[in-house]
Amino acid sequence: MQNVENVEELYEDEQKIRFKRRMRLALVYAVVIFFAIFIIIPFYWMVITAFKTETQVFMSPPMLWVNPVEWQWVNFSLALERAPFIRYLANTVLVAILSTAGTIITTILSGFAFARLNFKGRDVLFMILIATMMIPGEIFVVTNFLTITSFGWIEDQTFVEAVLAMTVPFMTSVFFLFFLRQAFKQIPDELYYAAKVDGKTDWQYLWGIMVPVALPTITTITILNAMNTWNAYVWPRLISQREEFQLVSNGLRDAFDDTAGRIMYHEQMAASIIVTVPLIIAFLILKKYIMRGVSRSGIKG
């Protein structure tokens, strides 16, 4: 008898626990969904505004939904006419490609030296480089502007000079060097000795073995660096002497400032979508690499 009671009690307990667990899970979902909505709303508002007519934009209370049949796709072409956005996009892509290519090459070479070679002052030099990561970029901006000026890249600026000024200072990065060195260090030494036995030079070993093995990390660096260019605002604004040399962020901000009177929000949001969507698509495709890069940067090396 006693036994049976116990079993029933246990059964009841189990049900209670299961119920509690379900409630807890429901609560978890509720909170996560609440915050997810908080994150999504600005995107939603951007998209829905971009599809409104001018009258719909300036309605109070605001329209929360627009029938897809009535979506004003024309806003996108209006936004593109408002400023030379195609040109800005082309500039941005060019600058991103050049500065990323430069960064990849310089960090691969120096990452190899720090990870694989033994040389005088290696550890001291590495510590000094790491220490510079603490210094805010504004310290560099002031003097770099003077340096770029003394290179003659500001006065009577040509497009090539503008591109040089936007890319050359960013063709290396201590952070990415550090990041790549960590990846290189994880490659077993045995591979190096084996390559040496096969008569391979350092150069051949670096490009034939290390770089392919570290390709995921190099991909991550490529994406993060391209993202930086995409979002760059201050430096291109400072050094580009002509409007048509600017990058997307500058064009976006300048074309829709409200000094000219009422802001055409529907066009502004359409332009914002044009600038935002390429990054989001890249993120969805390359999510794995971006997240890894970011979370790695949070782990002590």
Interface of this chain with another protein, residues 10 to 69, rule: CB under 8 A: 24-25, 28-29, 31-32, 35-36, 38-43, 45-46, 49, 57-62, 64
Neighbours of 246 (CB within 10 A): 26
* Helix/strand/coil (H/E/C) assignment for every residue in 215-236: HHHHHHHHHHHHHHHHHCCHHH
Which one among 6, 149, 186, 204 touches another protein, defined by CB under 8 A? 149
Which one among 7, 74, 90, 234 touches another protein, defined by CB under 8 A? 234
Which one among 53, 106, 219, 241 touches another protein, defined by CB under 8 A? 106
Number of residues lying near another protein (CB under 8 A) = 97
Q: Do residues 184 and 253 touch, judged by C-beta distance below 8 A?
A: no
Which one among 137, 199, 212, 261 touches another protein, defined by CB under 8 A? 137
Which one among 72, 91, 99, 110 touches another protein, defined by CB under 8 A? 110
C-alpha 38/C-alpha 59 separation (Å) is 23
Q: Do residues 214 and 187 touch, judged by C-beta distance below 8 A?
A: yes
List the interface residues with another protein, window 188-227 (CB under 8 A): 189, 202, 227
List the interface residues with another protein, window 85-104 (CB under 8 A): none
List the interface residues with another protein, window 241-280 (CB under 8 A): 248-249, 252-253, 256-259, 265, 268-269, 271-273, 275-276, 279-280
Rounded to a whole number of angstroms, the minimum distance from the CB of residue 271 to another protein is 8
Q: Do residues 301 and 178 touch, judged by C-beta distance below 8 A?
A: yes
Q: Do residues 177 and 107 touch, judged by C-beta distance below 8 A?
A: yes
**CB-based contacts of 94: which residues, under 8 Å, 6+ apart?**
163
Distances (CA, A) of 282 to 217, 233, 292: 16, 20, 15
List the interface residues with another protein, window 155-184 (CB under 8 A): 168-169, 171-172, 174, 177
